[in-house]
Amino acid sequence: MTDSIVQDKWYTISREEWQERNKQLQERLAKNRLNRKEKKLLSNTNNTMWFGTTSSNNAYWIKIRGLKKGEPEAYFEVKKGEDTQTASYVEGHITKLEASGYEFEGKFRNTFNLTLQDDEGSYILQSAFTNIGRTILNSLAGAEQLGDVKLALYINKKGFKSVWVENNGERTEWKYPIDEQMDMVEEVKNKAGEVLQKDYSALEQFYIDTVIPKIANKLDIVQQVEQVEEREDEDIPFS
């Protein structure tokens, strides 16, 4: 990354402003952690349900908010029981990725669950296959080996809400080019040739059948290596 974020096509703010926002966010998160210690969280029997039933009662749940037109910026909503926080970025070590979904008004909607782990516990990001959701997955697919991952929401130079993805401190590149993805999007046009709507169902299925399994396979390899290293450490005799 350059010294001036203004010069980077991915940002529209200065590095100083970005650092100040992160500093303020860290202060709020530290305050929230203190508040969590001072109050009793709901028991596991009072699990909050999102997108459908889940058994991961001890995890914090994350959703991406502020994506509707007219909303000024996107943000992460981090929730566990009645404890709710907001953040501009989340980070941790990915331990699990799986396709999911839920039924709403008689229609099934595809989603995915991305589990992050840090010193505070487990965080499960549940996202639909929106532009931001696909960007997260495409960026993770572009990483050769996954480590510490950071997801940061921001406004790009064109004024659109987007997400910056880092792996081990470096920005990840997309695995699948935009042109290749757009070939899987079907356009519905009127007689004048004007696009009335776009059908992303084939693209979503590509992410479910191809992209997510390939990323999950990377996680399995990393976990297998970590297990081997742990066993090797256990076998080292005391001197």
| Distance separating alpha carbons of residues 119 and 85, to the nearest angstrom | 17
CATH for 40-175 is 2.40.50.360
What is the token pair recorded at 67?
Answer: 């994506």
Q: Write the DSSP symbol of residue 59.
A: S
Taking the domains of the chain in order of start, what are their residue ranges?
A: 40-175
pLDDT number for residue 69: 86
pTM of the predicted structure, to 2 decimals: 0.70
pLDDT per position as a tens digit, 102-122: 988 888 999 999 999 988 889
What is the token pair recorded at 107?
Answer: 């229609």
Higher pLDDT, 41 or 127: 127
pLDDT number for residue 179: 95
pLDDT per position as a tens digit, 192-235: 888 889 999 999 999 999 999 999 998 876 565 455 445 555 55
| Distance separating alpha carbons of residues 233 and 236, to the nearest angstrom | 5
pLDDT per position as a tens digit, 181-195: 999 999 988 888 888
pLDDT per position as a tens digit, 29-65: 565 555 444 332 322 222 222 333 334 568 899 999 9
At residue 181, the 3 state secondary structure works out as: helix
121-128 and 170-171: which strand pairing? unpaired
What does residue 99 show for φ and ψ, rounded to 5 degrees?
Answer: -75, 145
| Distance separating alpha carbons of residues 91 and 22, to the nearest angstrom | 13
